[in-house]
Amino acid sequence: MAIAWKSVKTYTDILYHKAGGIARITINRPEKRNAFRPLTVVEMHEALLDAREDPKIGVVLLTGAGPAKDGKYAFCAGGDQSVRGHGGYIDDAGVPRLNILDVQKLIRSMPKVVIALVAGYSIGGGHVLHVICDLTIAADNAIFGQVGPKMGSFDGGYGSSYLARLVGQKKAREIWFLCRQYNAAEAMAMGLVNKVVPVAELENEGVTWAKEILERSPLAIRCLKSAFNAELDGLTGVQELSGNATMLYYMTEEAKEFSTAQREKRKPKAEQFPWLP
Ligand SMILES: CC(C)(COP(=O)(O)OP(=O)(O)OC[C@H]1O[C@@H](n2cnc3c(N)ncnc32)[C@H](O)[C@@H]1OP(=O)(O)O)[C@@H](O)C(=O)NCCC(=O)NCCSC(=O)CCC(=O)c1ccccc1C(=O)O
């Protein structure tokens, strides 16, 4: 499905495009298997915020540039180990950061559908990134895995707990404890991805799914996303879900009458609103 992407802004480590209600964020460090350094994460966060704020955007495609010069593909190989220091990943100002957690939270909470398009490696923090997306479409060359216990890291948040909700406790423990790699067919079989397509079809498939979603009700999808999250996200999840209830309530004649009455310093006409069963 052809789509005329327009560049939104020029970044150093990512590409950011939009077209027809879809935003596409591409991690653009193919020679590093699209590993993210603090700058990459800052740029991803800015683009995601822009997509969240744009009322024309309903779906975000998150993907990795490739293939690299050696012909290999990667969605993302996690945190850039060349800048790992004491207390985090060191940014240009020398500050240690684990700022990928901010990106995870934004993907989780934004009221838009985020789809990971995974070709090649989705490893470590790059695996967590696809896990946290609402949907994952994998290329037939996709390779998934966690590496933390092999190289001195772990993600005890969404990367393990939410992973276990997706694939089950036994499988999630296997993935983290053994640090094996899984191909696209294995990922499909364990419920880690939504669909597998030939690598040449990956973007087209993502656009097809996005366009189908864009034909659906934005408010229904907004409420569904926060409802799916609420069960798992504790008070943060309840806050998001009930924030949507408040937003919908503000849109009612009833809320408008009570708000207007307060400003007009009069008694609200409560009797006109039913106490529904
Ligand atoms: C992905 C590989 C399996 C691919 O293997 P291969 O195809 O053989 O390629 P290589 O020759 O290894 O790599 C090519 C090239 O890319 C560089 N590179 C690859 N990955 C990284 C990386 N993560 N960081 C930096 N550079 C990378 C590699 O050095 C080569 O460059 P040259 O210049 O040619 O040498 C394989 O590459 C691989 O296993 N990569 C490492 C995977 C890894 O260790 N990832 C980090 C896991 S830890 C993490 O992601 C932390 C994330 C985080 O911040 C966090 C914080 C707090 C809570 C949770 C998290 C979280 O986990 O999200």
Distance CA 153, CA 142 (A): 22
Is residue 6 within a helix (H) or strand (E), and if so which, with residue range?
strand 6-10
Averaged over successive runs of 10 residues, the pLDDT of the chain (277 residues) comes to 92 98 98 98 98 98 98 98 95 94 98 99 98 98 98 96 98 98 98 98 98 98 97 95 97 98 98 97
Q: Which residues line ligand 1 (CB under 6 A)?
A: 32-33, 35, 72, 77-82, 98, 100-101, 121, 123-125, 128, 147-148, 151, 153, 155, 159
- Express the helix, strand and coil content of the chain in percent, nearest 5 each: 45, 20, 30
- What is the structure's pLDDT at 226? 97
Is residue 135 within a helix (H) or strand (E), and if so which, with residue range?
strand 135-139
Q: Residues comprising the binding site for substrate? A: 33, 77-81, 89, 121-125, 153, 250, 265
Q: Are 56 and 99 in contact (CB under 8 A)?
A: no
Output the pTM of the full model. Answer: 0.97
Is residue 85 within a helix (H) or strand (E), and if so which, with residue range?
strand 84-85
CATH for 6-214, options being 3.90.226.10, 3.30.1490.100, 3.40.50.2300, 3.30.1180.20: 3.90.226.10
Distance CA 3, CA 22 (A): 10
Q: In sequence order, which residues have a C-beta less than 8 Å from that of residue 6 and are 6 or more positions away?
A: 17, 18, 19
CA nearest ligand 1 atom 35, residue: 32
Ligand 1 atom with the shortest distance to the CA of 181: 3
Classified as helix, coil or strand, 26 is strand
**Distance from the CA of 205 to the center of ligand 1, in angstroms?**
27
Q: Are 61 and 22 in contact (CB under 8 A)?
A: yes
Positions of CATH 3.90.226.10 in the chain? 6-214
**Distance from the CA of 193 to the center of ligand 1, in angstroms?**
21
- Of 230, 231, 247, which is closest to residue 239 (Cα–Cα)? 230
CA nearest ligand 1 atom 58, residue: 155
Q: Which residue has the tokens 């052809």?
A: 2
Positions of CATH 1.10.12.10 in the chain? 218-267
Ligand 1 atom with the shortest distance to the CA of 72: 7
Range 218-267 classified under CATH 1.10.12.10:
yes
- What is the structure's pLDDT at 2? 77
CA 164 → CA 124, 138, 167, 172, 190, distances in Å? Answer: 15, 19, 5, 5, 11
Q: What is the ipTM of this complex?
A: 0.96
